[in-house]
Chain A
Amino acid sequence: MISFDRVTVTYPDAPAPVIDNVSLTIEEGHFALVIGATGAGKSTLLRCVNGLVPHFSGGRLNGTVSVDGRSTEKYRPRDLADAVGYVGQDADATFVADTVEDELGYAMENLGVDAATMRRRVEEVLDTLNLHALRQRAITTLSGGQRQRVAIGAAFTASPRALVLDEPTSSLDPVSAEEVLASLARLVHDQGTTILVAEHRLERIVQFADVVVALGAAPGEVRSGVPAEIFATAELAPPVVRLARVAGWSPVPLSVRDARRLAPELRRRLEAVRRPVVTAPRGDRVAKVKALSASYGPIPALAEVTLDLHQGEVVALMGRNGSGKSTLLNHLVGLRRAQRGSVEVLGRAPATLSATEAIRLVGLVPQDPGALLCAETVAAECRDGDRDGGLAEGATRAVLESLVSGISDSAHPKDLSEGQRLALALALVLAPEPPLLLLDEPTRGLDYGAKERLSLQLRQLAARGHCVVVATHDVELVAEVADRVVVLADGEVITDGPARSVVCHSAGLASQVARILAPAEWLTVEEVASALAASAPAPTLSPEPRNESAR
């Protein structure tokens, strides 16, 4: 269905090709998953399929890409619209019409499909993607998951044989992500659509894939095969696969369900091991939120939220899209003024402070860290950071170096990888040493390696006495770093407790390891691995996982 024959892509002004001499074939009706570290060329590979590379992006493409027997050399993206549907990374930027129904009809209008067929197709897609109830809604009033499904529908109504999606779930909460992925699976199963999707959060998607295309670090390094075979060795792997490696399971299970069948034996082995109980002493109170309520027009965003934040703890703020996480962070950092209730950081209300004072008290890395960056080079950005914070020269650069070493001074912030860009934004926010550090959805677009480094950095910051608050949908990150989890629903705090008990006892928020090893309370692969390594059986000590809740 989709075939790459010795394809090399070089962007203009780039010293080296992004993908080099790649050959691969995706059979009709397969769900193919593209994995690879950030910057490995996943987006480029996807955009080659319908000819956006090179027709739209510029650059040189050698070799042949063909879809449904049509080569992108002869056909422009618009000529392939009936063969390939493409959903880009930022779905919000792709809407042309204002209502759901009109957006779905758009592609067919361009193709000149007759009215009756168009009507039928739109109705079918509304049903397939479960958008029926939203058909006349304005797109701007939809939630993130609904908008993503509309974008998929808009690409799919022209009945393309193949659908290409670039990180379709990266900004979605776990439940919305599952809805989107379930819709994709339905397209594969019911309609025989070929799907090619790039995704970082493998734990969500691996179970759906028929084929995995793994892009290596070098531009020419591409392997494709069935998931079990690729993940037996692939460096990037979801927790279930890494757990299987630790436990020595073969063949590698790919879903929690498969893994649970193999789990009893591992659970028995772990029962004999006592997990080292970490009891971090609770530090002084850094911030205090008291009965905070907020609303956007008539829509309530926060309702009577009361929360204390302490030195040295990492707090995960969770909840579905639109539950008030970002609003709470904005109040803590002083971007919004408390209308009812109060917010205090070290006894002062952040919204009343000048910007220069505020950054010494509390720092926020926003959802898109690039928004903080506006200079031409990394060096200039760091100098601006020193000046803004009134710091000694080189202070910001030193913080950056401690986070990630070896970022070139002359690099443009836009050319950095996602992980490096996040590190730079983090360095700018951290340099004035605010006791309270907030991060909004920091793992969007990060591969597992970058995520691991981020977890480590956050733990170190907490150890040095910062209070770190992370608003996130990423349950694996929460399992890695959080001491405490606060769950918001419709603006109210519904859960506030130690990470281990919250993560292990919630259906929606459990990490893969927690699901596999339930009812035993294990959170991460590393934990299990070190427990097994230190597996000197201590039968006199029974496992007491709940001890931690004292901290």
Chain B
Amino acid sequence: MLRRRLQPLHPIAWWCWAGTLAVAASRTTNLLLLGLILAVVAWVVSTRRGNSPWARSFGALLRLGLFVIAIRVAVQVLFGDRVPGDTWFTLPSVPLPHWAAGVTIGGPVTAQAAIGAFCQGLQIAVILACFGAANSLASSFRLLRCVPAGLYEVAVAVTVAISFTPQVVLSIARVRDARRLRGRATTGLRGWRGLAIPVLDGALERSVALAASMDARGFGRRSSSPKRRRLTAAATLAGLVGLGVGLFEVLDSGSASGIGLAVIILGGALVIGGMAGASHGSRSRYRPDRWRAAEWLVVGSGLLAAGAVVAAGSDPSSLTQPLYPLGLPAVPLAALAGILIATLPSVVAPAPAPVRAQLQEVAA
């Protein structure tokens, strides 16, 4: 057991863990593996999320995932390629003019088409669930606190935007209520037209109040010259974009292509340069998140899971749903064991605050 600690796990560790599981999910349509990944993610979320508002995003993304599966299957059944195989039933098909060649509506629906679409939908749903898990376990505010100093201004803008969104929703509700109280339409085009100006007006007033409060609390007081700041921010941002594109390239093609690697290296260099250039700013950080053994273990467990799934890819049939002939998914034991390792965070990550408070009460 690791030393008990109060500070939550580093948000980047959670994002890495969820990211590696998403990578694992992206490599397979094996129902068994996808199901296990989902179960692991759900288990860790249920044991380690707090009770803050953002912790509910896991449920929201699960629902979104169900929706994606439904859409994927429905689209395949209605408009998809007519995949050959064991026909379940036949939908009346609509003849289309010749310029719409390639598009079909209706026709025979085979088990292969439906199950294949379901597996692909489930894959996307599991990736969404991983994203939801990261959001639930690590607040995006905490993540933004970790951005390099060069991007500080950008991070502040994003933070403010995130906290403003729910307020705009509230403000829309308030203005709609006010219109109803004046006896005006709240629905339809007329209703919406009357909303925009008061809502924007309210948002503007809040922004001014927020700016005054930030100014009064010393925001922007000890920053370096604007020119230097802009330069470092641009370099860091470009570097991060480069890193993202490079990673995508490498993951998408499944092999480390030359271009992808080059972009990753260049991006990394820019980020490091930008951070080094900006580190002269003299802000300090209140209780910065620290990277310790638990963080390494969490990231490591995710990497092992992803590694096990990728390694199982040497036998491609073990990662895909067999369609011809239709059969049960293979049981790649090594990959399954690897995914199970990813439950490690539910033990090594510090428990969220309310749970801890309850434990202390029980102990007392």
On A, residues with C-beta under 8 Å from B are: 50, 52, 55-56, 76-82, 84-86, 88-90, 93-99, 101-102, 104-115, 118-119, 122, 136-138, 140-141, 154-155, 158, 330, 333-335, 355-356, 358-359, 363-364, 366, 368, 371-372, 374, 384-385, 388-389, 428-429, 432
B353 at the interface (CB under 8 A from A): yes
Whole-angstrom distance between the Cβ of A176 and the nearest chain B Cβ: 21
User: Which chain B residue shows the least CB distance to A106?
Assistant: B217
Which 3 residue pairs spanning A and B have beta carbons closest together? A105-B286, A81-B218, A94-B213
Of B53, B185, B209, the most chain A CB neighbours within 10 A belong to B209
Q: Is the CB of B284 within 8 A of A97?
A: no
B220 at the interface (CB under 8 A from A): yes
**Contact stretch, chosen from B68-76, B174-182, B246-254, B341-349:** B174-182
The main secondary structure of chain A at its interface with chain B is: helix
Some 21 contacts from A to B, beta carbons below 8 A apart, are A55-B215, A77-B212, A78-B215, A78-B217, A81-B221, A82-B218, A86-B212, A90-B206, A93-B209, A94-B212, A97-B159, A98-B141, A104-B286, A105-B287, A108-B286, A110-B220, A111-B284, A112-B282, A330-B177, A355-B179, A366-B177
Against A, the Cβ 8 Å flags (1 = close, 0 = not) of B162-201 are: 0100100000001101111111111000000010011000
Q: Is the CB of B181 within 8 A of A110?
A: no
Cα-based distance from A355 to B194 in the complex (angstroms): 15
Q: Is the CB of A111 within 8 A of B222?
A: yes
User: Which chain B residue shows the least CB distance to A384?
Assistant: B182
Cα-based distance from A141 to B209 in the complex (angstroms): 21
Cα-based distance from A110 to B152 in the complex (angstroms): 11
User: Which chain A residue shows the least CB distance to B202?
Assistant: A371
Contact of A110 among B141, B160, B179, B222 (CB under 8 A): B222
Against A, the Cβ 8 Å flags (1 = close, 0 = not) of B132-176 are: 000000010100010000000000100110010010000000110
Q: Is the CB of B218 within 8 A of A110?
A: yes
User: Which chain B residue shows the least CB distance to A333?
Assistant: B181
Q: Is the CB of B182 within 8 A of A158?
A: no
Cα-based distance from A461 to B353 in the complex (angstroms): 52
Question: Chain B residues with Cβ under 8 A from A333's Cβ?
Answer: 181
List CB contacts (< 8 Å) of B312-337 with chain A.
none
B43 at the interface (CB under 8 A from A): no
Q: Is the CB of B286 within 8 A of A372?
A: no
Question: Chain A residues with Cβ under 8 A from B87's Cβ?
Answer: none
Q: Is the CB of A122 within 8 A of B219?
A: no
Whole-angstrom distance between the Cβ of B60 and the nearest chain A Cβ: 13
Cα-based distance from A333 to B186 in the complex (angstroms): 15
Contact of B284 among A81, A86, A109 (CB under 8 A): A109
Question: Chain A residues with Cβ under 8 A from B212's Cβ?
Answer: 52, 56, 77, 86, 88, 94
Whole-angstrom distance between the Cβ of A519 and the nearest chain B Cβ: 42
Whole-angstrom distance between the Cβ of B189 and the nearest chain A Cβ: 16
B362 at the interface (CB under 8 A from A): no
Q: Is the CB of B185 within 8 A of A140?
A: no
Q: Is the CB of A102 within 8 A of B206?
A: no
Contact of A335 among B53, B180, B285 (CB under 8 A): B180
Cα-based distance from A449 to B211 in the complex (angstroms): 33
User: Which chain B residue shows the least CB distance to A76?
Assistant: B215
Question: Chain A residues with Cβ under 8 A from B175's Cβ?
Answer: 371
Q: Is the CB of A112 within 8 A of B283?
A: yes
Question: Chain A residues with Cβ under 8 A from B179's Cβ?
Answer: 355
Q: Is the CB of B217 within 8 A of A355?
A: no
Q: Is the CB of B286 within 8 A of A50?
A: no
User: Which chain B residue shows the least CB distance to A432?
Assistant: B183
Question: Chain A residues with Cβ under 8 A from B194's Cβ?
Answer: 374
List CB contacts (< 8 Å) of B282-314 with chain A.
282-288
Q: Is the CB of A388 within 8 A of B214?
A: no
Q: Is the CB of A371 within 8 A of B216?
A: no
Cα-based distance from A385 to B178 in the complex (angstroms): 13
User: Which chain A residue shows the least CB distance to B205?
Assistant: A93
The main secondary structure of chain B at its interface with chain A is: helix
User: Which chain A residue shows the least CB distance to B221?
Assistant: A78
Cα-based distance from A359 to B139 in the complex (angstroms): 43
Question: Chain B residues with Cβ under 8 A from A355's Cβ?
Answer: 179-180, 182-186
Q: Is the CB of A374 within 8 A of B286?
A: no
Contact of A111 among B183, B221, B285 (CB under 8 A): B221
Q: Is the CB of B284 within 8 A of A115?
A: yes
Q: Is the CB of A96 within 8 A of B210?
A: yes
Question: Chain B residues with Cβ under 8 A from A88's Cβ?
Answer: 209, 212-213
User: Which chain A residue shows the least CB distance to B178?
Assistant: A371
Against A, the Cβ 8 Å flags (1 = close, 0 = not) of B40-57 are: 000000000010111000
Q: Is the CB of B216 within 8 A of A158?
A: no
Take A88-B212, A355-B186 as given contacts and tell me if A140 and B181 are in contact as well, using a CB distance cutoff of 8 Å: no
User: Which chain A residue shows the least CB distance to B216?
Assistant: A86
Whole-angstrom distance between the Cβ of B215 and the nearest chain A Cβ: 5
Against A, the Cβ 8 Å flags (1 = close, 0 = not) of B215-241 are: 111111110000000000000000000
Question: Chain A residues with Cβ under 8 A from B156's Cβ?
Answer: 96
Contact of B218 among A93, A158, A363, A432 (CB under 8 A): A158
Whole-angstrom distance between the Cβ of B170 and the nearest chain A Cβ: 10
Q: Is the CB of A93 within 8 A of B210?
A: yes
Whole-angstrom distance between the Cβ of A122 and the nearest chain B Cβ: 7
Question: Chain B residues with Cβ under 8 A from A110's Cβ?
Answer: 217-222, 283
User: Which chain B residue shows the least CB distance to A110?
Assistant: B218
Question: Chain A residues with Cβ under 8 A from B217's Cβ?
Answer: 78, 81, 85, 106-107, 110, 154-155, 158
Question: Chain A residues with Cβ under 8 A from B183's Cβ?
Answer: 355-356, 358-359, 388-389, 432
Against A, the Cβ 8 Å flags (1 = close, 0 = not) of B251-289 are: 000000000000000000000000000000011111110
Whole-angstrom distance between the Cβ of A422 and the nearest chain B Cβ: 14
Q: Is the CB of A111 within 8 A of B181?
A: no
Given contacts A56-B211, A96-B163, A110-B283, 9 further A-B contacts (CB under 8 A): A102-B145, A104-B286, A106-B217, A111-B284, A115-B285, A140-B166, A355-B184, A366-B178, A388-B184
Question: Chain B residues with Cβ under 8 A from A119's Cβ?
Answer: 286-287
Cα-based distance from A114 to B215 in the complex (angstroms): 20
Cα-based distance from A140 to B160 in the complex (angstroms): 14
Whole-angstrom distance between the Cβ of B193 and the nearest chain A Cβ: 11
Q: Is the CB of A141 within 8 A of B53?
A: yes
Cα-based distance from A178 to B180 in the complex (angstroms): 36
Q: Is the CB of A98 within 8 A of B163?
A: yes
Question: Chain B residues with Cβ under 8 A from A428's Cβ?
Answer: 182
Question: Chain B residues with Cβ under 8 A from A106's Cβ?
Answer: 217, 286
Q: Is the CB of A85 within 8 A of B145?
A: no
Whole-angstrom distance between the Cβ of A79 and the nearest chain B Cβ: 6
Question: Chain A residues with Cβ under 8 A from B185's Cβ?
Answer: 355
Whole-angstrom distance between the Cβ of A333 and the nearest chain B Cβ: 7
Question: Chain A residues with Cβ under 8 A from B54's Cβ?
Answer: 98, 138
Question: Chain A residues with Cβ under 8 A from B286's Cβ?
Answer: 101-102, 104-106, 108-109, 115, 118-119, 122
Question: Chain A residues with Cβ under 8 A from B219's Cβ?
Answer: 78, 110
Question: Chain A residues with Cβ under 8 A from B216's Cβ?
Answer: 50, 52, 77-78, 80-81, 84-86, 155
Whole-angstrom distance between the Cβ of A104 and the nearest chain B Cβ: 8
